[in-house]
Structure 1
Amino acid sequence: MRVLFLITILLLMALPATAQSDTTIAYQGQLQDASGPHDGTPGMEFRLFDSLTDGAQIGTEIVLSAVPVTDGLFEVDLDFGAPYGAEPTYLEVMVAGETLAPRQRILAAPLAIHALSLDTAYADNRFWKLDGNSGTDPANDYLGTTDAVPLEFRVEGSRVLRIEPLPEDLPFPWQESAQNITAGWSQNSVDNGVIGATIGGGGGHRQSAVAWPNRVSGHFGTVSGGLDNAVSGFYGTVGGGNGNRALHEGATVAGGYDNQAIGWKATIGGGNGNDATADETTVGGGGRNDATGSASTVSGGMGNTASGIAATVPGGDGNTASGSRSFAVGYRAQAIHDNAFVWSDSSHTLFESTGADQFLINAAGGVGIGTNSPARDLHIKQRSTNNGQIGLQIERSDNFNNWGLYIATSDNLGFRYNDVLKSRIDADDGVYSTSSDRNAKKDIQTLSGVLGRVLKLKPRTYLMKEQDESALRSPGFIAQEVQPLFPATVAVQDGEYALKYSQITVLNTAALIELNEHFSSAMASLESESEKRFAALESANTDLRARVAALSSETRKMQALVDRNRALEERLASLESLILEGQQVAEQ
């Protein structure tokens, strides 16, 4: 034998405008058995009694041989005449020979039938009048039931509001006041055993014969309205819309279409086809967005996914934040590593992170800081003219040491270390200069003794290891060769040697000064020696002149002797000629 349960009742009546009353009441109920809603055409009998149990029957029974029951719902018209009085009246229903319990108390509307024929002695505030009552006390005067029977309201014969009492076996013993309220379409429903549920309205047919009711199957769940919405999780909420689901404890869908809040305390603000599947996830709206990582968020946009723990996509299109605490925004930005921030522009290619803790920007229009019209890939507009507060600062991770780069009020590009000016690039000619103000220095000493070491430097030409053999060779020094001669000019960082070429220039200057000093000293010695030699030469020249003068006098004397000797020789020759001539004559 099938055991039937009558789980809902709604009694309605129509009052004519005339004094003559219509005593027919419309009775609607829902039959269920162990497998669910009952279908068929069982026989039914209806009787009135003056008590919830036992008691005396009022009037005669109404017997119906075949009552259509579809999906558990049936409706019949009952006319018991006008047997209703001020005392409680109870309706007993028998289905297919089985008496259903408990009897249902009949109040309000049926009693109003009797009120049409009462004398003035009964026309007091124990009955609600059509034009309203006055002087009521909310503590004692109310519309409702005093037994564990659902209360329903109908419009045009169809249920529009159902208030259910608490079940006998409460799921929470501490809960003493959590009745279910079901409003809207008659097929909106709260599952058996659920308490504290609310359906505010909505539901109905869509596309002709397709039924789209709202349903709550979780304790304290709420569907405010809309169409085909369902709440199955504790404290779940669907605010409205169509086809939305709040499937876990504390899950919320505010509205929209075909959204699913599946995770614990997951939230969807609206939009279309969005899913918040993990615990404490949020989708603000948009379309086809998924928040699948615990505590992840997609604020809006289209086709975005936040699958990492606490990952965020604030909007845009086709973005993915799959790394834990990652952030992706723009168009097709892919933050696929933990703690990665990725922003991508309208280019159609994926822009992906390549490692954890990255901050990546793909902006074809440039990135502006302090400006909304960047002219370069990165454009920084300084916020003031205070040289100590502007520009770009790079600070070490383990202390506060930092370098600052900024445009000074002179328009020079300045470099500061711990806010002390170290160098600049001149705006007029682009010359790089380092700070050399006497007021910025101490323990100033003259540099000396460098010439010999400078002469030991070995200028080289070379190629860097990454250069091709066909590249032009660069002139320079090798830091390891310079270090023994001038240690201060060599810097070592991370095992790599570097050379301060600006200091080599100073050393070259000092070497030139020393060379000049050596040259000047040598010239002075040479001049002194030359002067001494010149004086000796002058003295020797004077002596030579005297000797030349004496020789000249002797020469003249010698010339006179030579002239006399020549004359004598000429006279001797003449004598010899005469002698020869005399001899020849004698011989003849």
Structure 2
Amino acid sequence: MNFKHLSILACACLLGTSSLRGQGTAISYNGHLSSGGAPASGFHDLRFILFNAEVGGSQVGIMLTNSTVGVSNGVFTTTLDFGPGIFDGTALWLELAVRPSGAAQPFDPLAPRQPMLPAPYAITAGNLTGTLSADQLTGTLPSSRLAGTYGNAVTFEHAGNSFTGDGAGLFALNAGNLETGTVPEARLPASVSLLGQTIEGSEIADGTITAADLDAITTSAAFWRATGNRGTDPSLNFLGSIDFRPFELRVNNTRAFRVQPMVNIGPNLVGGHHDNAVAPGFGGATIGGGGAPGFPNEVKQNFGTVGGGQDNIVSAQGATIGGGEGNRVAAGSIESAIAGGFQNQIANAQASFVGGGWSNDVRDGSPFSTIAGGFQNSVSNSSPSSVIGGGAGNEIADNSEQSTISGGWLNGIAGGAPRTTIGGGDNNHIGAGSVAAFIGGGSLNDIGSDADWGVIAGGRNNGIGADSFYGFIGGGTQNSIGAGSLYSSIVGGNQNRIAGIAEWSVIGAGRDNQIAVAADYASIAGGWNNVVGTNAQFSVIPGGRDNGVGTGASYAFAAGRRARANHQGSFVWADSTDADFETSAADQFRIRANGGAAFSFNGDHWIRFLHIPDGSLLFPASVITTSTGALLSEGGTWTDFSDRNGKENFAPTDSREVLSKLLGLPVTTWNYKAEGPRYRHMGPVAQDFYAAFGIGIDDKHLAALDANGVALAAIQGLNRKLEEQLAARDRTIDALLQRIDNLERSNAREVDGGVR
């Protein structure tokens, strides 16, 4: 229930006002309690305080708390008793505060205060002074009103009259009329013998009085012995007074301890310097000791306590100062405490605590706050439930409730930054409006304004800019997240920067790495001097040095050294060579590996791109080698693997048949559709080749090795054919030559025979 919305209509009347003699100081208070326009019901605790002004002013008399007051349909009745001497004709106003019975919450004062109307002022009749006409007086006058000198004779003839006092003003008494009491020895003649008359002045001086010197009455249980007593009854045997007067213990005839009775409240206990004091009208207070001339300890509210020290002042109910010097608990700081130290202060902050130290301050409207100690630490206005653990010069500013500075030096939480924390270190700062932000420690770290839930774990000179919700810096030095970069993180390193409006971006560590403006979701894992450019969203630099993703190059990747992914969707990996290696178009994949590169897949299969230096015995200088044994030489020659040991299922070929099929194989010129008519090629198509020879993996592919084999077999077939033709020709020629030879021989014989 919010009692700020309660209204109260109340009246008061005197109790027991039938005559002045029987009048007490209690009044009956009747009221009507409502909440939200509806009558309240149930049990409530009510607190009543009198003030000498309608607004502000000072408290008058004690504070009354009436617990478990029944309220039925808004109506309640309770009794108030502020004690004697309160209603002396001065205008007073009554402040009422209320809370539900049994609720663990402070009282809620109601406004405005209620003026005390004439009914309570009937009590002033008990405080009238001056000359009154006798016919105005009725009843019995107290003996304290009969003091003074009377000019006329007064006769006391009633048998019930009695006299008390020391009789110093009585003369010409007849000793025969004395029945009880003690007559001083000086009033007795010397001839009168005293019982046990053996006490001498020297015995009083040196303390040698014995029981034999005293009569039986003096030595009874009522005699309080300095050496200890037996069989005492606390209800009968005690040190103190039995009237409404203070009781004091003195040292060197100077007050050392005072017990001061109060009405309807416990007595005040005041020890220490005789100038220590509890303000008039307040009770249940304690001053344990301490104080000095000009620097007394004081309590100015009910139930306040000062344990010792000097110049300590408690002005709030139930508040405590344990000791130290110059400490202050101001009015309104109910149940607050300062353990000690020098010039610490709690100002109108209920149930707050300062453990000690020097010049620490809990200010107005910051209840339930704590400063454990240290020097010049401060919880400012309206920052309830805040804590400073110690250190020096730390401050939680206005309206930063439930915030904490564990210690350190010159750390600060700005105004309107509730539930924030600085773990320690020095010169760390959380800006205004940064809800639930956290700096773990370190030095010169800063979270800007309205950077809710931002975290800097430690390090030095790190910063999260304004409006960078959920920003995170793990440590390192001079790292920064710019304004408006929500959910971005720098894990550590040195001089790493995420610029403004680069949301969800990350720099892992390293040095001088940078993610530029609006490069949302970009990442730099580490390294040195790597840069993701403006608007290069979703880009990555995993590490290395001097790598860059260009402006607007979203979804790009750059790694190694001086890799430059300047276009969207590009992937660049550069080796240690100190030279730029960059893309020329979007969605490129570029790798620079001057020592070679290898791709492995399916276990034993691989492709390597490498340059073999001169003199190597592994291969001739090659650009590409493969796990199949095929390679591309540096000169551009593709060499197939053809080792006999890698082959099986050998079968002979009919070279004449191959030649015959080859002669029937269509060989044309053509272009690939993907290349266009500009680029012409010559050769068979895979379907014709496969149909003619039945070799290869299918009728869609044609291996150069197979084409070469067909060509070689055809050459062999052609050679066989040529050799057969040449052999036939040679046989023909031989036959012709033989015929010619035969003819020549025949002709020669004819010539020799005479034929000419």
TM-score range, shorter-chain basis?
0.5 to 0.7
Question: For 1:394, which of 594, 599, 608 is the aligned residue?
Answer: 599
* Contact 2:504-2:522 at 8 Å conserved across structures: yes
1:341-356 correspondence to structure 2 within 5 Å: 341-342=557-558, 351-354=566-569
SS in 2 for 1:485: helix
**Partner letter of residue 444 of structure 2?**
G
Question: How far apart are the structure 1 equivalents of 2:662 and 2:409?
Answer: 96
* Contact 2:667-2:682 at 8 Å conserved across structures: yes
Residue matched to 1:233: 436
Residue matched to 2:729: 523
CA separation of 1:527 and 1:277: change in aligned 2, threshold 3 A: same
Question: How far apart are the structure 2 equivalents of 1:191 and 1:345?
Answer: 51
Question: How far apart are the structure 1 equivalents of 2:428 and 2:600?
Answer: 58
Residue matched to 1:37: none
Tell me whether 300-309 or 510-519 shows the greater mean CA deviation.
Answer: 300-309
User: Within the alignment, does 1:316 sit opposite 2:531 as a pair?
Assistant: yes
CA deviation after TM superposition for structure 1 residue 473, in Å: 5.0
Question: How far apart are the structure 1 equivalents of 2:525 and 2:292?
Answer: 65
Deviations 1:22-70 (A, max 9, x none): xxxxxxxxxxxxxxxxxxx96679999999x95427545789xxxxxxx
**Partner letter of residue 56 of structure 1?**
N
Q: Greater CA radius of gyration, 1 or 2? A: 1
Question: How far apart are the structure 1 equivalents of 2:526 and 2:394?
Answer: 41
1:363-402 correspondence to structure 2 within 5 Å: 367-368=574-575, 371-372=577-578, 380-382=593-595, 391-396=596-601, 398=602, 400-402=604-606
User: Within the alignment, does 1:360 sit opposite 2:569 as a pair?
Assistant: no
**Partner letter of residue 513 of structure 1?**
N
CA deviation after TM superposition for structure 1 residue 107, in Å: 0.3
Looking at secondary structure, tell me which structure has more helix per residue: 1
Residue matched to 1:330: 548
1:157-236 correspondence to structure 2 within 5 Å: 160-162=375-377, 180-181=388-389, 183-185=391-393, 187-189=395-397, 194=402, 197-202=405-410, 217-218=418-419, 221-222=422-423, 224-226=425-427, 228-230=429-431, 232-233=435-436, 236=439
Question: How far apart are the structure 2 equivalents of 1:181 and 1:452?
Answer: 102
* Contact 1:151-1:162 at 8 Å conserved across structures: no
Question: How far apart are the structure 1 equivalents of 2:326 and 2:542?
Answer: 64
CA deviation after TM superposition for structure 1 residue 468, in Å: 6.4
TM, length-normalised to structure 1: 0.52
CA deviation after TM superposition for structure 1 residue 286, in Å: 3.9
TM, length-normalised to structure 2: 0.42
* Contact 2:323-2:341 at 8 Å conserved across structures: no
CA separation of 1:543 and 1:472: change in aligned 2, threshold 3 A: farther
CA deviation after TM superposition for structure 1 residue 510, in Å: 1.9
Deviations 1:384-441 (A, max 9, x none): xxxxxxx432334x554223344441543275432x53345376xx765545566666
1:19-418 correspondence to structure 2 within 5 Å: 54-56=266-268, 58=270, 59-60=276-277, 81-83=294-296, 88-89=307-308, 91-93=313-315, 100-109=316-325, 149-151=353-355, 153-154=357-358, 160-162=375-377, 180-181=388-389, 183-185=391-393, 187-189=395-397, 194=402, 197-202=405-410, 217-218=418-419, 221-222=422-423, 224-226=425-427, 228-230=429-431, 232-233=435-436, 236-237=439-440, 239-241=442-444, 243-245=446-448, 247-248=452-453, 252=457, 254=459, 255-257=461-463, 259=465, 262-263=469-470, 267=474, 269=476, 270-272=478-480, 274=482, 277-278=486-487, 282=491, 285-287=495-497, 289=499, 296-297=506-507, 299=509, 300-301=513-514, 303=516, 307-308=520-521, 315-316=530-531, 318=533, 322-323=537-538, 330=548, 332=550, 336-337=554-555, 341-342=557-558, 351-354=566-569, 359-360=571-572, 367-368=574-575, 371-372=577-578, 380-382=593-595, 391-396=596-601, 398=602, 400-408=604-612, 409=616, 411-413=620-622, 415-418=624-627
**Partner letter of residue 689 of structure 2?**
V
Question: How far apart are the structure 1 equivalents of 2:488 and 2:670?
Answer: 63
CA separation of 1:525 and 1:467: change in aligned 2, threshold 3 A: same
SS in 1 for 2:538: coil
CA separation of 1:179 and 1:313: change in aligned 2, threshold 3 A: same
* Contact 2:453-2:471 at 8 Å conserved across structures: yes
Tell me whether 79-88 or 263-272 shows the greater mean CA deviation.
Answer: 79-88
Question: How far apart are the structure 2 equivalents of 1:128 and 1:92?
Answer: 15
CA separation of 1:265 and 1:283: change in aligned 2, threshold 3 A: same
Question: How far apart are the structure 2 equivalents of 1:345 and 1:218?
Answer: 45
SS in 2 for 1:202: coil
CA separation of 1:87 and 1:151: change in aligned 2, threshold 3 A: closer
User: Within the alignment, does 1:483 sit opposite 2:690 as a pair?
Assistant: yes
RMSD between aligned alpha carbons? 5.6
CA deviation after TM superposition for structure 1 residue 219, in Å: 6.5
Question: How far apart are the structure 1 equivalents of 2:391 and 2:717?
Answer: 101
* Contact 2:357-2:375 at 8 Å conserved across structures: yes
**Partner letter of residue 421 of structure 1?**
G
CA separation of 1:289 and 1:444: change in aligned 2, threshold 3 A: same
CA deviation after TM superposition for structure 1 residue 460, in Å: 2.3
CA deviation after TM superposition for structure 1 residue 526, in Å: 1.6
What is the total number of aligned residue pairs between the two structures? 414
Question: How far apart are the structure 1 equivalents of 2:724 and 2:504?
Answer: 81
Query: Of the two structures, which has the highest relative contact order with CA contacts closer than 8 Å and spacing of 6 or more?
Result: 1
* Contact 2:325-2:341 at 8 Å conserved across structures: no
Contiguous gaps of at least 5 residues in structure 2: 5-54, 62-256, 271-275, 281-290, 299-304, 328-339, 343-350, 363-373, 583-589
* Contact 1:265-1:279 at 8 Å conserved across structures: yes
CA deviation after TM superposition for structure 1 residue 330, in Å: 1.9
CA deviation after TM superposition for structure 1 residue 480, in Å: 2.8
Question: How far apart are the structure 2 equivalents of 1:476 and 1:161?
Answer: 95
CA separation of 1:198 and 1:320: change in aligned 2, threshold 3 A: farther
SS in 2 for 1:101: coil
* Contact 1:266-1:277 at 8 Å conserved across structures: no
SS in 2 for 1:484: helix
Question: For 1:511, which of 705, 713, 717 is the aligned residue?
Answer: 717
CA separation of 1:226 and 1:445: change in aligned 2, threshold 3 A: same
Residue matched to 1:175: none
Question: How far apart are the structure 1 equivalents of 2:60 and 2:521?
Answer: 62
CA deviation after TM superposition for structure 1 residue 278, in Å: 2.0
CA separation of 1:227 and 1:215: change in aligned 2, threshold 3 A: farther
CA separation of 1:424 and 1:445: change in aligned 2, threshold 3 A: farther
CA deviation after TM superposition for structure 1 residue 522, in Å: 1.7
**Partner letter of residue 509 of structure 1?**
I
Deviations 1:234-278 (A, max 9, x none): 765364437524732866464345636632866475445535632
CA deviation after TM superposition for structure 1 residue 351, in Å: 2.4
* Contact 2:473-2:479 at 8 Å conserved across structures: no
Question: How far apart are the structure 1 equivalents of 2:463 and 2:472?
Answer: 19
CA separation of 1:223 and 1:233: change in aligned 2, threshold 3 A: farther
CA separation of 1:272 and 1:465: change in aligned 2, threshold 3 A: closer
SS in 2 for 1:393: strand
User: Within the alignment, does 1:461 sit opposite 2:669 as a pair?
Assistant: yes
* Contact 2:453-2:470 at 8 Å conserved across structures: yes
